[in-house]
Structure 1
């Protein structure tokens, strides 16, 4: 019965002139080490060829998508990378881990008094990096083209993981985030395009402004886009920014 329903849907779409979209096939898995485990989804490049090398994008979700269902973290994944045109234009792996509800991608123990992070990454951040390291060993991933992006809590994680492994990532897109400005010295040479709404009522815009200023203090050249009149929920707009992914996939990891 299910197969007949699928055929009917495609025939109906054809009759109505609707262009059917392919169903995305995100591999579902769990990374386990010791007592820790981290659910994740992985999208393979379109027309995948195991004899070719591909870039990888690590995507970090926000606080509202935490859990263990290995589904909710797909919310907010850039459509510019997952629709038909995007997958043709930017063939890449997309890794999407899911942080559990009792953890975060990065901790600011004394926030808002200061924005210093913990000495060590959180357990979920460590597991995300370990998952990435494992996949790099197993799959034909271009090690000079590993990228990281995320929004809200995931934007915070983007900056933090970047500072934990500055020689791993070729570029980063943090959105509406908070970051430890004292760690800017570790990543000022990494290409970064950051976004924030100037009316953000969750993570104040001042935090992105502070980090951008800190990066520039070390002669970094980050790109910063601030949306006037917009609040926290800007990631869809940011991921549709003209030229964003052309810029991202042009970046290659630099030798420091």
Structure 2
């Protein structure tokens, strides 16, 4: 197994923009850094269990919250859904999982006039831009089923989830934003994408009204978005969302039409 992983890592990262340091494997996740010129982005990448390079696999982009920002390339896995990473989950949901780490002084999406106006900046934030670059690079190198690229995130990562959908509406087959704020003026752009959003009704960081507003706007544009609200739950609603029995079964059933 160690020999297989060593060959696999060399095959993917040698002579590639995806290399900044010798990649290692920690808790089944490849640990390395994306570099493009002077830009860098720490990230972790989980390969499917029983990986077969001749098969195509889905990929989940996982966006962490504000508390996990930094450069240690560790904290972004703190709330990673165990249903995707334990031995049973990896067999049931054979997929790649990409978990980039946003830099400490950045965010996945910026709302300059929040809370008066929910409009995001025209350009993506530096961490968001680098994540798109990384994802595009991986899509050209890994055996991915490009009809089944998914995204989820919580808190700041939930905000990023909606923003990433809006910036690349033809990329993701489904999304699960948790306890987020979003640019409701762009709801029409993502009204055809399968979305399942989650929020606690006692959230004391991102008010539940923001998810309610976005779901209302999506529905006005004909969206069939799902929404689950947890009574009595504060900001840590990801604990509920990522243990929903049907969430990932629903997500992996979604695919882009040819």
Structure 1 and Structure 2 fold alike (TM over 0.5): yes
Q: Which residue of 2 aligns with 1:13?
A: none
User: TM-score, normalised on structure 2?
Assistant: 0.89
- Counterparts of 2:210 and 2:126, CA distance in 1: 24
Q: Which residue of 2 aligns with 1:25?
A: 28
Displacement of 1:136 after TM fit?
A: 0.7
User: TM-score, normalised on structure 1?
Assistant: 0.90
> Is 1:210 equivalent to 2:218 in the alignment?
no
Displacement of 1:35 after TM fit?
A: 2.0
Count of paired positions: 233
Displacement of 1:81 after TM fit?
A: 0.4
Q: Which residue of 1 aligns with 2:160?
A: 157
Q: Which residue of 2 aligns with 1:232?
A: 235
Q: Which residue of 1 aligns with 2:172?
A: 169
- Counterparts of 2:55 and 2:160, CA distance in 1: 30
Displacement of 1:254 after TM fit?
A: 3.4
Q: Which residue of 2 aligns with 1:15?
A: none
Displacement of 1:165 after TM fit?
A: 0.4
What secondary structure is seen at the aligned counterpart in 2 of 1:173? strand
Displacement of 1:32 after TM fit?
A: 1.2
Structure 2 runs not aligned, ≥5 long: 1-25
Q: Which residue of 2 aligns with 1:197?
A: 200
Q: Which residue of 2 aligns with 1:80?
A: 83
Q: Which residue of 1 aligns with 2:133?
A: 130
What secondary structure is seen at the aligned counterpart in 1 of 2:104? coil
Displacement of 1:54 after TM fit?
A: 0.3
Displacement of 1:240 after TM fit?
A: 0.7
1:1-256 matches, cutoff 5 A: 24-254=27-257
- Counterparts of 2:188 and 2:35, CA distance in 1: 32
Displacement of 1:166 after TM fit?
A: 0.5
What secondary structure is seen at the aligned counterpart in 2 of 1:232? coil
Displacement of 1:234 after TM fit?
A: 1.2
What secondary structure is seen at the aligned counterpart in 2 of 1:154? helix
Displacement of 1:29 after TM fit?
A: 1.4
- Counterparts of 1:194 and 1:254, CA distance in 2: 22
- Counterparts of 1:153 and 1:56, CA distance in 2: 20
C-alpha deviations, 1:104-151, integer Å up to 9, x for none?
000000001111100011010010111111001100000000000000
Displacement of 1:24 after TM fit?
A: 3.0
Structure 1 runs of 4+ with >2 Å offset: none
